[in-house]
């Protein structure tokens, strides 16, 4: 370990080194995993909102990492988010003969590996949402 600290005891410099590693990891998360890039806002309120949302995303990412240390050691927040990304919400539109449309919003059923991870993290997917009926034109279908 190299340092510009004049302290001769490495035990004093080691916590600073670990803190540096955590700060560098935070920037990697913000740039990579959370995909936060520079956005050029024109208004002060939008700038503050962007910073606030970015900070909340980072806090959730760190919380998930700490949560995983106890419940699923060896997994990272990135790997869990990648695994859960396969669970998607889809809208199924079913046109009725009277011009209305029945919309069924459904999430895909988790694979066994995802279900095991949900159980390990003590999470449950919410109940499937109830169907909705809209009045109006049905989505256009391609002519065959």
CA distances (Å), origin 44, targets 30, 40, 54, 58, 143? 21, 11, 15, 21, 49
Residue-wise pLDDT for 50-82, tens only, equals: 878 878 888 888 888 888 988 888 888 888 988
Residue-wise pLDDT for 91-125, tens only, equals: 999 998 888 999 999 998 999 999 999 998 888 99
The whole-model pTM stands at 0.59
Q: Which of 117, 122, 61 is nearest to 86 (CA)?
A: 117
CA distances (Å), origin 107, targets 83, 86, 88, 94, 126? 15, 10, 5, 17, 9
Q: Which two tokens stand for residue 67?
A: 């949560």
C-alpha 13/C-alpha 7 separation (Å) is 7
Beta strands in the chain (DSSP E): 89-95, 100-107, 132-135
Domain definitions of the chain by residue range? 10-82, 86-135
Mean pLDDT in the chain? Answer: 81
Q: Which two tokens stand for residue 41?
A: 């806002």
Q: Which residue has the tokens 């011009």?
A: 99
The residues that bridge with 4 in the sheet, in sequence order, are none
């Amino acid at each position: 370990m190299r340092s510009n600290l004049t302290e001769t005891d490495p035990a004093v410099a080691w916590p600073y080194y670990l803190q540096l590693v955590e700060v560098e990891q935070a920037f990697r998360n913000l740039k990579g995993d959370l995909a936060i890039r520079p956005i050029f806002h024109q208004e002060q309120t939008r700038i503050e909102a962007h910073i606030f949302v970015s900070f909340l995303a980072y806090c959730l990412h760190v919380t998930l990492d700490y949560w995983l240390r106890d419940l699923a050691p060896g997994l990272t927040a990135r790997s869990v988010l990648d695994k859960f990304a396969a669970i998607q919400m889809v809208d199924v539109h079913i046109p009725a003969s009277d011009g209305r449309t029945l919309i069924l919003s459904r999430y895909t059923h988790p694979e066994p590996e995802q279900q095991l991870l949900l159980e390990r993290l003590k999470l449950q997917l919410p109940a499937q949402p109830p169907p909705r009926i809209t009045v109006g034109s049905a989505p256009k279908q391609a002519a065959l």
